[in-house]
Chains A and B, each alone.
Chain A
């Protein structure tokens, strides 16, 4: 058995739409250690959520994993059948979604939905499941859990609903929790509560967490490793310090320049030019080259490979190759 609880190797996922194949994920790889937190950050359409859904195999009907492996404790789960996957979802790996308003069923009570997950995945009987549900609600800080069990989702606030979602996800003690934009729909003070709760629960229960988000602030103090995605590919990966203090991919650099930060509050923001790429019409080379002001000839026609730029830090950008070449040869290679 490998030391990693989850390994994603060269994952490709496409959606087959009327207007053609949309390659949402183009060769994403990462490894997740037990008990650690991985952050996946990117803009809308970067393939971050689709990566998460591919792991769970909960893609829309048009979506399909077209290549690569997802190894859970060394076993490739993309080859598993429906029944096996049902045992995986919820029990081994759970997901919480962005919008706590729509991801709970409005016509069933909280208790009904929480107990469904418990009854499905464990040997507990109804009485024990109810006890477990109350225990979980207490754990995630929902007050009066017994009363909540009888309530419907619309009777709870957004923050409370997200707590219920977390309780549901963790009820069967999964090894992995995937949080897809867990706090985007919530207010700042409630967001802080939920992030704090997730960290606390991780300490208590020891599950690994994958946080998928577009908010660089959310991942800064949560993650052991961060992956930056653009156009369905990984541009850069490393620790929070690597990514925030020594970004080595032009996209990451641009992203960090375009958000206001406390140290340079009154300075003008430097936006990334252009618009996000159209996944129906992917460029031959680097996905970011059309918006990159440092783009070279090679960027247009060859996809850059991941290159090590530090002990924990990898980036796929030709600029690093160029910098390395210059360092080694003390000059700039002539453009052919």
Chain B
């Protein structure tokens, strides 16, 4: 890969908006702003972690990006080309997804061979039956499954192995970008490490870029080059992984990091937890101005009036907060 390629963005998301109409009564609908103006970019071979609490819109970002939902607004560019309804089918050869739940994301009536082979069929990536089978076995080996598993059904596998099948399916078309939507949160701790290592190995081998969506901040910090923090449909902070952890600027990131349960008793005893008060407001009834102000200890009058935008604080560290 030349240095020129490195500077270019693989995926660029500009002001992505995804509203869902919610029926509230007879003929009345209210937009639920799941994602409200999100912009970020990912370089080739890079991992961008996306964290936030449930309902903040992180999964929706992943799905809208791949046009699994039709975005309400905003644009997605892949290698400089705008993603539209017309070219999305071809572009899915380059952009794939691994889903959270390895139990419901595999068709129980298909064998592993057919599950992994389906993307090959869709994109017509083989000329003979033998070639198809060869490709499938290659993929299975890549993710650490035995060849004899090919004729089995998904229910015969454990959670960790199912997630491997899901990853093999995503890799079948040889993509350069994969959206990983909570790929390890359904797995046991000891199995999580196996799958995380596999993601890292595959990135090294194939140079694929990830958008790694998760709520486990330790895992995200481990695997990501950069991390974006979302709160109620907006990115509130985005920075290099180490920079974000050592120097969090947004009050939400600050409290989120302080609230991670640390598997380290000394650290847990000495650090100060910042406990946020109250719950996340409903995304159907967002507070005016900054969405976080209702739980923020630095909130001022300005926060209620205007919504802060992401501003550069140097070294690629972007924060949207008036007071920090």
Contacts and interface: CB of A to CB of B under 8 A. Distances in A.
- The binding surface of chain B is classed by DSSP as helix
Nearest to B222: A260
Interface in A81-130: none
Contacts of A255: 189-190
Interface string B190-218: 11111011001000000000000001011
Contacts of A266: 222
A192 B275 contact: yes
Contact of A220 (B258, B263, B273): B263
A188 B255 CA distance: 10
B302 to A, nearest CB: 24
Contact of A258 (B160, B190, B269): B190
Interface string B239-282: 00010010000000001101111111111110001011001100
B188 A44 contact: yes
B54 interface: yes
B221 interface: yes
Contacts of A271: 190-194, 197
Contacts of B190: 43, 254-255, 258, 271-272, 276
B158 interface: yes
A263 B200 CA distance: 19
Interface residues of A, number: 45
A159 interface: yes
Contacts of B196: 269
Pick the most buried of B219, B221, B242, B275: most chain A CB atoms within 10 A of its CB.
B275
B53 interface: yes
Interface residues of B, number: 42
A269 B260 contact: no
A272 to B, nearest CB: 4
Contacts of B217: 188
A236 to B, nearest CB: 15
B191 A217 contact: no
A260 B218 CA distance: 6
Contacts of A254: 190
Given A188-B259, A244-B264, A271-B194, 4 more contacts: A188-B256, A255-B189, A265-B245, A269-B193
12 contacts: A188-B217, A189-B255, A196-B275, A221-B261, A240-B265, A245-B265, A255-B189, A259-B189, A261-B262, A262-B264, A269-B197, A271-B193
**The 4 A-B residue pairs with the shortest CB-CB distance in the complex, in nearest-first order:** A217-B261, A221-B268, A271-B193, A258-B193
